[in-house]
Structure 1
Amino acid sequence: MSSTLEVTVIGGVGLTDKEVFTRQDPYVVLEYGQQRFRSKTDIDGGTNPAFNSTFTLSLLPGLNEVTIVIWNENVLRDNVIGSCRIGLERVLATGMEDGYFPVYNKRQHQHGSLRVILKYRPQYSASPYAPSAYPQPAYSAPPSAYPPSYPPQPYAPPVSYPPPPAYPYGQSPYPPSYPPAYGGSYPRY
């Protein structure tokens, strides 16, 4: 496994306009050694395109520069808007870089900038699951805050309510019934 560099091209600001009657359709091509990556085209992106494209590069020893070329997509032939070179010294030292990098035209005049975020992912020599040279001491479980539990008690039948009291002879548990009112029936509504 080699170290990798994640490059996210966010967008351009104030780029040279290569179209006369319409808005230009920019895209970027990222070059690093023999590796080449192309973003999606921002249709009618004009001079302030948004790319939001992320590329992952395998880093090569001794190669400390990424080149990003901004192109204008046309029907017959695409033309170069400008290019941007980014040195990798800072991102290799700090792990991340987020900034605006100058874009130069063919005559090496600066016309706009490109926002790029770089993230360095170093290769580690040891596997993260390899045993440590100094094993960690084994610890027992921490003491409990509760006293030790007692042995379970034998099963006892559930406690029930006592039976209701018996009523004396001649008394009923229900209220007494009364004869119907005058007329022998209940009132009608």
Structure 2
Amino acid sequence: MAQGTLEVVLINAKGLENTDFLNNMDPYVIVCYGSQKRKSSIASGQGSEPEWNETFTFDVNLGDLVSPLRFWTAIVVQRMTVLEKLCNIPLESVMEEGKVPAAPYNVVKDQEFRGQIKVSLSFTHKTHRHGHGMAVQEESYGGWKQSSTY
């Protein structure tokens, strides 16, 4: 089973639906991987075009299935928090490539475009210690692992 660290850089969002008509909304984002959750800072007064430039890390234990990365927007309106599912990002490419450059992902609700969120992703395989005190970086090659002898 491969293990490692997933790093998510939440850069910004564009064109989010403004749900607070009287003021600029104060959005934040909840990023989820499996049961792990991270919360961004509140982008006070930034409305539908917030910028965060925040980094979140998640511990990953890869089995047969890779969970998608899930994003939720949260907006504080008159002391109430309104949550809305933003998007799911599949992680297979970042697990294989190790890094996915910053890219916008479409926000769709009820089959309607609701803006974009821009993130970059990277995955680092965890180094395992094998006998003789040697650290070996685990690598994956097309579904099988290269073995080594000492």
* TM-score band w.r.t. shorter chain: 0.7 to 0.9
CA drift of 1:2 comes to 3.4
- 1:80 maps to 2:79: no
Match of 2:125 among 104, 122, 125: 122
Structure 1 CA distance, aligned partners of 2:14 and 2:73? Answer: 12
Q: Tell me if the contact between 1:16 and 1:81 (Cα under 8 Å) persists in the aligned partners.
A: no
CA drift of 1:131 comes to 8.0
Task: Decide which structure has the larger Cα Rg and report it.
Answer: 1
Percent identity between the aligned chains?
Answer: 25
Cross-structure match for 2:108:
104
- Tell me which amino acid in the other structure corresponds to 2:9: T
Closer, same or farther: CA 93–79 of 1 in aligned 2, 3 Å: same
Closer, same or farther: CA 64–19 of 1 in aligned 2, 3 Å: same
Residue-by-residue CA offset, 1:80-124 (whole Å, 9 max, x unaligned): 35411100011111111121111123x242211100010101123
Q: Which runs of 5+ in 1 are unaligned?
A: 135-189
Cross-structure match for 2:116:
113
Q: Tell me if the contact between 2:128 and 2:135 (Cα under 8 Å) persists in the aligned partners.
A: no
Structure 2 CA distance, aligned partners of 1:83 and 1:119? Answer: 20
Aligned residues: 132
SS of corresponding position for 1:91: helix
Residue-by-residue CA offset, 1:16-69 (whole Å, 9 max, x unaligned): 111111111000001111111100000011111011121110113223301010
CA drift of 1:74 comes to 2.6
Cross-structure match for 1:39:
40
Q: Tell me if the contact between 2:127 and 2:135 (Cα under 8 Å) persists in the aligned partners.
A: no
Closer, same or farther: CA 82–16 of 1 in aligned 2, 3 Å: farther
Cross-structure match for 2:54:
53
- Tell me which amino acid in the other structure corresponds to 2:104: Y
Structure 2 CA distance, aligned partners of 1:16 and 1:74? Answer: 13
Q: Tell me if the contact between 1:12 and 1:49 (Cα under 8 Å) persists in the aligned partners.
A: yes
Q: Tell me if the contact between 1:18 and 1:81 (Cα under 8 Å) persists in the aligned partners.
A: no
Q: Which runs of 5+ in 2 are unaligned?
A: 137-148
> Which one has the bigger strand percentage?
2
SS of corresponding position for 2:72: strand
Could you state the TM-score of these two structures normalised by the residue count of structure 2? Answer: 0.78
Could you state the TM-score of these two structures normalised by the residue count of structure 1? Answer: 0.63
SS of corresponding position for 2:3: coil
- 1:21 maps to 2:22: yes
Q: Higher mean Cα deviation, 86-95 or 60-69? A: 60-69
Closer, same or farther: CA 96–131 of 1 in aligned 2, 3 Å: closer
